Amino acid sequence: MTFYFGTIILTELLMLAMSIHVIGYSGFDRKQKDWFVLTFLCIMMCAAAEYAVHCGVYDESFAGLLTVLTVIQFSTAPVLAVLFSGALGLEHQSIVAAVYFLLNLLIEGVAAFFGAVFYYDSVGYHRGDYFILYEVFFVISLAYLIVCISIAGKRFRHRDMGTILMILVILVAGILPMTFYKVNITYIAIAIAASLCYIYYNDLNQEDALAELVINQDKMSRMQEQIISGMANLIESRDTETGEHIARTSAYVKALAEDAREAGIYTDELTDHFITLLYVLAPMHDVGKIVVPDQILKKPGKLTEEEFEKMKQHAAAGGTVVRNVLSGITEEEFLSFGSDIATYHHEKWNGSGYPNGLKEEEIPLCARIMAIADVFDALISERCYKKAMPYEKAFKIIEEEAGEHFDPKLVEVFLKHKEEFQDLKE
């Protein structure tokens, strides 16, 4: 009896704890919470009713009350399978539960009047000659649960079938001893199975929610990249360039960043995430040219001092444009990174660049890398105001500007991989 009392207490505490957890859990909607809490509370009620009957303390004057309590228990217990099914997200289970409960209640109520399923006498509780009726309803409910779990498993693409089998094994192992050997461990088994159902359903829902989040993040990333690419191509087309400059400079910055990391330079900053952002946002480096008039952008000759001052405005404007275009569809890190590239890629290592005259490592690393890629591609490409420069001459200019225009460490890496950058152009 001590063991039996322990299993009942454990069942009550487990279901109480699960109910409290579900009520406070934010991962389920109201309907899901209602199903689980109803399931757990019904298990608590059935377990308490069973203990009231089998606790070993009996007074014949309570026979009527215990009969009512047992009818309710025997009517509710088979319906737990339907409650499980509703908790697992299957539709229309409230109707099935109501019908099955009323059917059980009708049969158990009539049977109790004749003592067919159970009865009480001066000694206590006894099974009736037709106790098998209760067992049949329980077997039917178990079969129903198996079908419903199979349906739920199909809905979740049969993931974690091991948990489903474990739930069924625990239910069968808990019901059979009570049925054949009168060992009262049924409700602790049902409580454990209900908890596993909750964990199973919660885990699979979380997996689906995570998968959906990843899909949405991928969609957002693609949308960001399309906006960036489209905006950059629009600006480049005004500058009589095609999208090839964008593609090349993106390839250059990615290669230079990876080569620098491999060489042990700026390894703290050059993470995979940094390089991905650099590659994705590099096309935004000249987006500020949207503020520059066509007659300056497309001028075939050298710019006047006044025209050059207007051209220089595109750097400061670039950061503002990046934030205006991408604000609201991406996080601050993305905005700041893109803004830094657009704003500072014309700064120089010696502090003579624009717009803010930053020097050395005051200039963000992404902009220092962008500067080398942008100038190199400009040198080896034909523009409306010049012919394409031979590779060796372009490499020579980059080398000469190390420590003046460009970060000398990055230039050293760049020059060690001349063939790689030459191949990227071709």
pLDDT digits (tens, 9 = 90+) for 340-398: 999 999 999 999 999 999 999 999 999 999 999 999 998 998 776 678 889 999 999 99
Q: Give the C-alpha separation, 295 to 304, whole Å.
A: 12
**Do 141 and 263 fall into the same domain?**
no
175 vs 276, residue with greater confidence: 276
Question: CA 314: distance to chain centroid?
Answer: 39
Residue 182's CATH number = 1.20.1070.10
Q: Are residues 206 and 243 in the same domain?
A: no
Q: Which of 415, 302, 291, 310 is closest to 354 using CA atoms?
A: 310
Question: Partners of 119 in the beta sheet?
Answer: 126
Of 8-22, 154-168, 178-192, highest mean pLDDT: 8-22
Q: Is the pLDDT of residue 260 over 90?
A: yes
Tokens describing residue 96 = 């099935």
- The pLDDT of residue 155 is above 70: no
pTM: 0.55
Which carries the bigger pLDDT value, residue 108 or residue 237?
Answer: 108
pLDDT for 134: 86
254 falls within a domain: yes
pLDDT-derived band of residue 173, with 50, 70 and 90 as boundaries? low
Query: Do 202 and 256 share a structural domain?
Result: no
Arithmetic mean of pLDDT, 210-236 = 67
13 found inside a domain: yes
Is 221 within the bounds of a domain?
A: no
pLDDT for 242 equals 46
Check whether residue 410 and residue 291 sit in a common domain: yes
Q: What is the pLDDT of residue 388?
A: 84
Asked, for residue 31, whether it belongs to a domain, the answer is yes
Q: Do 12 and 143 have their domain in common?
A: yes
Asked whether the beta carbons of 195 and 151 are under 8 A apart, the reply is no
pLDDT, tens digit, 9 for 90 and up, residues 270-282: 999 999 999 988 8
Is residue 374 domain-resident? Answer: yes
- Which residue range forms the structural domain that includes residue 264? 239-425
Domain count, the chain: 2
Residues 199 and 268 grouped into a single domain: no
- 217 assigned to some structural domain: no
Q: CB–CB of 246/229 below 8 Å? A: yes
Q: How confident is the model at residue 337 (pLDDT cuts 50, 70, 90)?
A: very high
Q: Given this model, what pLDDT does residue 301 score?
A: 76
Residues 207 and 246 in one domain: no
Furthest CA-CA distance within the chain: 115
User: What is the predicted pLDDT for the residue at 103?
Assistant: 93
Residue 291 CB partners (closer than 8 Å, separation 6+): 313, 314, 317, 321
Same domain, 198 and 322: no
User: What sign results for the dihedral spanned by CA atoms 74, 75, 78, 84?
Assistant: negative
CA distances from 361 to 268, 299, 409 (A): 14, 34, 11
Residues 85 and 181 in one domain: yes
> Quick check: is 182 in a domain?
yes
The yes-or-no verdict on residue 308 having pLDDT over 90 is: no
